[in-house]
Amino acid sequence: MGLFGTDGVRGRANAGNMTAETALRLGAAAGRYFRREGSGQAAHRVVIGKDTRQSGYMLENALTAGLTSTGMNVLLLGPVPTPAVGLLARSMRADLGVMISASHNPADDNGIKFFGPDGFKLSDAAESEIERMVAEGVRLAEAPNIGRAKRIDDGRGRYVEYAKTTIPAGMSLEGLKVVIDCANGAAYRAAPDVLAELGATVVPIGVAPNGRNINADCGSTHTDTCAQTVVAHGADVGISLDGDADRVMILDAEGRVADGDQLMALFARRWAEEGQLKGGTLVATVMSNLGLERYLGDMGLALRRTKVGDRYVVEAMRAGGFNLGGEQSGHIVMTDYATTGDGLIAGLQFLAEMVRTGKPAAELMHSFTPVPQRLENVKYAAGAAPLDAPEVLRAIRSAETALDGTGRLLIRASGTEPLIRVMAECEDEALLDRVVEDVAGAVRGAA
C-alpha cells in the first residue's frame, strides 16, 4: 500500500491515504500491534495529540474509533507539539502515542505519526508490520472489551512544566525580548507560556489558528514575518517554529536566520567543552553542510550522517549512544531532554546560552562559514519515476564527474511531498550553479 513515508503517513486531507476510512483501519492495526495481551483492560492506553488543521478533527475521530475497536483506551490531548506526544506516551505509561500533523506542510495536508511506549518514533520494521495489518485486517475486541475515549485537560500543562526544567535551575530569561512564531500551529499556547513563565518579554505571533492558516506565511519555513516582527519590536532574538513545533529557526536582532546546522554546531561545541557530548559525535543527515563537518573536525569531533528524516537521526543516536543530532531544516534532537526533535526546547537552549555568555544572538548563531550549497526542488507527476530516466542518470554522472574532489552532489526523492530534491555543495559557485541546473533541468524534462 505504501502508507508510510519518511515521517509517518502523510498526504492531502480527505484523499489518498489521508481519509477517515484509512485512519480508522490504521488505528485498528496500530492498536492491535501495540496491545499487550494478557494485561488488564486499563493497561491498553494510547495518547493522541494533534496540530491545528481543520482535518485533524476528522482524523482524530477516525483513529479513536479504530483504536477503541481493538480495546485501546484513548486519551485525547488536543493541540500539543509533536515532542509532547513522545513525552506523554512515556510518562503516562501508554502503549503508544499518535500525533496528527503534517508538520511544515500546508493546511490542506495532514499526517499521522506513531510513537512507541518508550516515546520514540517507530522503526521501519514496526511500520511495515502495521502496514501489513492494515492490508489484511485485524481481529477486533469482543464487545465487553471495546475501549473508551476521554479528553485530557492537562497534557499541554505537563509539557510546559517539563520544558521549563530543561534550562539550568534558577536561570531567568528576564531582560530578553523574544519574538516567538508558533506558525498558527500546535505550540500556539504552550510556547508563549513557557517563555513568559521563565521571565522573558514575549512577542507572540502565529498564535491565532483557524484551522486553515497553519504555516501560512509564518513559521520556520517562512521566516520573513518573524524577521520583520523582531526588527519592528526591537527584540533580542526570534524563535520560529513549524506547525507541530518539532523544528526551529533562530533569528538575531537584525532578522538574520540561523538554520539547524548552525544551532547544532553551537550546541556541539558547548557540550564538548563541558564533557557532555557523548562519543564526541554529532549525528546529522546527508543534507547538512560540508562546512559543519569541517568545523567539527577542526575540534576533533565527528559528524555521523544518516538518511533524511529525524527518525533516522534518532535511530543512529540510539544505536551509537550519542545524545545530540538533527537536521539542517531545524530538527534538533537532544535525547537528554526529548525523544524527537523539539523546536521549543532547542530554542530554550539557545536562550540559555545567551544568558550564560551575555552574548547577543548574532554572535552565537554563526559558528562556521557554510560551503556554498544550492537546493532545487522539482515537482513530478504522480506515477512518474524521473530518477530512472536515462537522461537524468546521464546528467547525474556528468555532475558527479565535474564535482569530483571539489564538492558533493545529493539527489533524492522527498519522503513527504512529490518532489525530487537536487542538492550540491562546491566552493566554485559557478560550477555549483551549472551542475544543479543541469541535473534539475533533466529531472524536469522527465517529470
| Residues acting as catalytic residues | 103
Closest CA to 345 of 357, 330, 361, 360: 330
Q: What is the CA radius of gyration of the chain?
A: 22
Backbone angles phi, psi at 419, to 5 degrees: -130, 145
Measured CA to CA, the distance from residue 413 to residue 420 in angstroms comes to 4
CA atoms within 13 A on the CB side of 398: 15
What cell was used for 34?
501495540
The three-point CA angle 113-115-121 to 5° equals 80
Measured CA to CA, the distance from residue 16 to residue 34 in angstroms comes to 25
CA atoms within 13 A on the CB side of 394: 7
Find out whether 124 and 132 touch, Cβ atoms under 8 Å. Answer: no
Which residue type, as a one-letter code, is found at position 388? D
Backbone angles phi, psi at 74, to 5 degrees: -105, 130
The three-point CA angle 113-117-122 to 5° equals 40
